[in-house]
A and B are shown apart, each in its own frame.
Chain A
Amino acid sequence: MQAWIEFGQGPLFRFAFVLMALGLARIFVLTLVNVAEAYRRNPDKIINYREVFNKTVAWFIPAGRLWRKRPVYSLVSFLFHAGLILVPLFLAAHVSLWRQSTGFGWFSLPQGLADALTLIALAGALILFLMRAFYAPARALSRRQDYAWPLLLAVPFLTGYLMVNVSVSASGYQWMMLLHLYSAALIMILIPFTKIAHCILAPLSQVVTAVSWKFPAGAGDRVLETLGLEDRPTWVDKPRLGIEREMTRELPEVKPAEKEAKAS
């Protein structure tokens, strides 16, 4: 048991961490290279970079269009991401491990705040999973890995919280440590090869769309406007899914005043 834990703390952790770091750097660079290549091939090189930039920034702030359309989802998602990013990076125990092994340490969260963020992340994972499972439009768009991810991400948070806050027997502690280490390693190994890669690709998402596919920013809205379908959501293909009735019930109404404000 101890040997397995040491393997998880040593070789496995180093493997997973380096694979994650280099793997993310790799897809980031590859994406940039591909964008450059697409740009070179594209005869139409006029791209509104200012709008692309604004859109990219807008997606990082939980106050945009999604906030108005699905406030619960937007808020939960934001808090979930906050916990997901802050706790592993700034947990005092993690920072002190880094300091012990490499000599470098950094700012760490107070334990109380870290615990709170952990609980928020856990709750967020659960809520996001349920929303995906029981909200039809989302379910229609989901692949299997989309259901698995919130659950997998919750494992190291749950075990970590239990290890710190609940007094358990020595062997129980070891089992949880094992689970904590191996689930975290699995996550790190999978990150650069799955959709979680958006953690580094997110800033590029709008550029990729704008350059590679030559969709001007806001093209979707303009198409809908042209078709006279402004009040329909752009992110789901209603007729194909055949769920128009459910959606009209669930979606908040878009008020004309807001629409005008956005158009201007």
Chain B
Amino acid sequence: MNRVRNFKLFLWALLGLGAAVGTARFMFGLGATTNLSDAVPWGLWIGFDVMSGVALAAGGFVLTATVYIFRLERFHGIVRAAVLTAFLGYVAVAVGLLFDLGLPWNIWHMIIFWNPHSPLFEVGWCVMLYLTVLLLEFFPVPAESFSGLAKVRNFLVKLRLPLVIAGISLSTLHQSSLGSLFLIMPYHVHPLWYSPILPVIFFLSAIALGLMMVTFEGLISSYLYRRAPETDILAKLGAAARWVLLLYLGVRFTDLAARGQLGHLADGGWQVTLFWMEIALSAAIPAALLFIPRVRHSLAGLWIVAPMAVTGIVFNRINVGGLVHQQRGETLYLPAWTEIAISAAVVAAAALAFLYFVEKFHVWERRPQDPEAAPAALPRFDVASFASLGSPLVRSRTLYSLAFVFAAAFGFSLLSGEALSSRGVDPAPVEEARGGDTLWIDGNLDGFGTAFAHRRHVERLGGDSTSCALCHHLNVPRDRQSGCYSCHRDMYSVSDAFGHDRHASPAGAALGCFDCHAPDAVKSAQSAKECADCHKDLIPAGAVIEVEDYQAAGYTEAMHQVCLGCHQQQAEAVEKPDLPRCGTCHREHKLLVDDPLLAQRYQRLESRGVIVPEVLEEHFQGIRLAALPQEPVTQIDEP
């Protein structure tokens, strides 16, 4: 078993999946590939990729401060890895942000369009600058391998102290400013999390997370490369982290008490459960465990504490980032698998880059042995097994690209057209006419609609199938250019208006291929007969609505157009002037309240020719829905 190779295979597969989803993201937009909505504009990509990503990379500034400012030389062995993690972490943040931004190609606008009032502006600038600082801090490491770069390297090494100080200051700013981002949402963020000192809380937890993340990363890499972990150094990190975590806990609860929000802890909502889970995972349990020397100095103990604290503080970022925003979402936001795939792919790319640097340059004191290093095998040159010259590099290339390609293809197979179009309405099979007796027409689903006496209307309009067409299918009358499929896009699947199979099946019309498709032409939608060729009465000659354009109207408008046009004509025909007025259909209409002020306005409006519903007591008193269907028709029948 080869740990590194298997791990890399897994990472490459994640990358492949992300490539597929990323393509869809940029082709079809955010709605197609995320569960974000107008109610939840920020999701996993901000909460995890950006907010947690920045916090996870805090190890860089914490360790450079420890080694280069406080001169604790014993940590020197891990400072390079910490700076590399920070650098790759920030690159990952930037890449993750590119997926989340609606217009990522405008990200450079932050450089030229300034709004210094915005915390996000400050975060953006700090991240940009800190990324540069990290690049300069890390650059001497790869530069060691190139003798031509010796001058640059020496210069950067001399610059180290100013760079480190700049890095620490910039980190202080943006780690805390990520908290400031949420200060402008006092009415959204739950009071257990919202605090004027969110910046301070974020900064403290970032330091703790930085220490824990360096520990975690040391554990993982020593596992992967079968190195002996630097347990004593990691124990020292843990010893420092326990005090930071304790301080963090103290600040959190003092802040709650000072703001008088401790009472919320007794509320018992799901947010409170979340709060305790977060506190336990991020600080309480790790701090308690780290106070036990045996845990601190044992590998197993660190394997428990470090991942727990990392998870907990990431959890905190996700909570503040949107999970505990009150009533932000009318529906619960859970990240779509596509969102998770992108986040995982960004992390995988950073991890692969980390492993590359570690294997290629002196990030650690001892470079890990290439696990694939084996005597070169004989070259093979067969297309089926690929041109392999036997070098381990080539073999792993072959393997990793295979994982990538398969995962990408798998990802594409999961991205269905229906999901990408983000339609809110499921296409329904229209095999039988679905006309009911009474329809409750309420497109907005807010309870303010009308009970529509469907059957009565059908009867009144003739009672046969031609009467359907007087209201339905009116927007494209006799338009030979655009077939049914031009609106009903999915008509050639089983769903929606046209059931291809039903037409072919004995239960339907039992048609053969050439009953509809011309024998010498391609069997496509275009070459098929129009629906109206068989369904002669689909669109009547006397269609009521004048077509203005070929775009569908909004629901409310459409209903009003269809009903009102007919009602206005009928009002004259049956000499019933009330017919086109609001109260005829909307029985519960508020306007029926007798109000002198309103009445005055209505009179003025009526003098201008606007139809205003009449105030009729019986229209709204004591009417039950069950009785409603009778009403409109009775009314029409009375001349």
Contacts and interface: CB of A to CB of B under 8 A. Distances in A.
Tell whether any CB of A sits under 8 Å from a CB of B in the complex.
yes
Interface of A: 2, 6, 10-12, 14-19, 22-23, 26-27, 29-31, 33-34, 37-38, 41, 91-93, 96-97, 100-101, 111, 163-165, 167-170, 173-174, 192-195, 197-198, 201, 208, 212-213
B397 A30 contact: yes
B387 to A, nearest CB: 5
A211 to B, nearest CB: 11
18 contacts: A10-B416, A11-B413, A11-B414, A18-B408, A18-B412, A19-B406, A19-B409, A30-B394, A34-B387, A37-B389, A41-B389, A92-B522, A97-B524, A111-B520, A164-B523, A170-B505, A173-B504, A197-B383
A101 B525 CA distance: 13
A23 B405 contact: yes
> Which of A12, A16, A37 has the most chain B CB atoms closer than 10 A to its own CB?
A37
Contacts of B383: 27, 194-195, 197-198, 201
B522 A14 contact: no
Interface of B: 20, 379, 381, 383-384, 386-389, 391, 394, 397-398, 401-402, 404-406, 408-410, 412-417, 493-494, 501, 504-505, 510-514, 519-526
B409 A22 contact: yes
Contact of B397 (A6, A14, A33, A167): A33
Contacts of A41: 389
A163 B523 contact: yes
Contacts of A26: 401-402, 404-405
Contacts of B511: 170
Contact of B391 (A16, A31, A37, A194): A37
Closest 5 CB pairs of A and B: A170-B504, A15-B413, A19-B409, A11-B413, A93-B522
A114 B520 CA distance: 12
Contact of A193 (B384, B389, B520): B384
A167 B398 CA distance: 47
B107 to A, nearest CB: 28
B523 A2 contact: no
Contacts of B404: 22, 26
B524 A30 contact: no
Contacts of A16: 409
Given A30-B398, A38-B389, A170-B512, A111 B384 contact: no
Nearest to A35: B387
B482 to A, nearest CB: 14
Given A2-B494, A12-B413, A208-B387, A18 B522 contact: no
A192 B386 CA distance: 10
Contacts of A23: 405, 409
Given A19-B405, A31-B387, A170-B505, A14 B413 contact: yes
A11 B417 CA distance: 10
A167 B504 CA distance: 13
Given A111-B520, A170-B504, 15 more contacts: A12-B413, A15-B413, A18-B412, A18-B413, A19-B409, A22-B405, A30-B387, A34-B394, A101-B417, A111-B522, A164-B522, A167-B513, A170-B511, A197-B383, A208-B381
Given A30-B386, A197-B383, A93 B523 contact: yes
Nearest to B27: A102
A15 B410 contact: yes
A167 B413 contact: no
Contacts of B510: 170
Contacts of A97: 524
B526 A96 contact: yes
Contacts of A38: 389
B507 to A, nearest CB: 11
A15 B512 contact: no
A169 B501 CA distance: 12
> Which of B384, B401, B405, B521 has the most chain A CB atoms closer than 10 A to its own CB?
B405
Nearest to A192: B405
B523 A18 contact: no
A96 B483 CA distance: 15
A262 B290 CA distance: 84
Given A15-B412, A27-B386, A212-B387, A37 B522 contact: no
Contact of A14 (B384, B388, B415): B415
A157 B290 CA distance: 69
Nearest to A143: B384
> Which of A30, A41, A192 has the most chain B CB atoms closer than 10 A to its own CB?
A30
A167 B512 contact: yes
Contacts of A34: 387-389, 394
A168 B517 CA distance: 13
Nearest to B514: A167
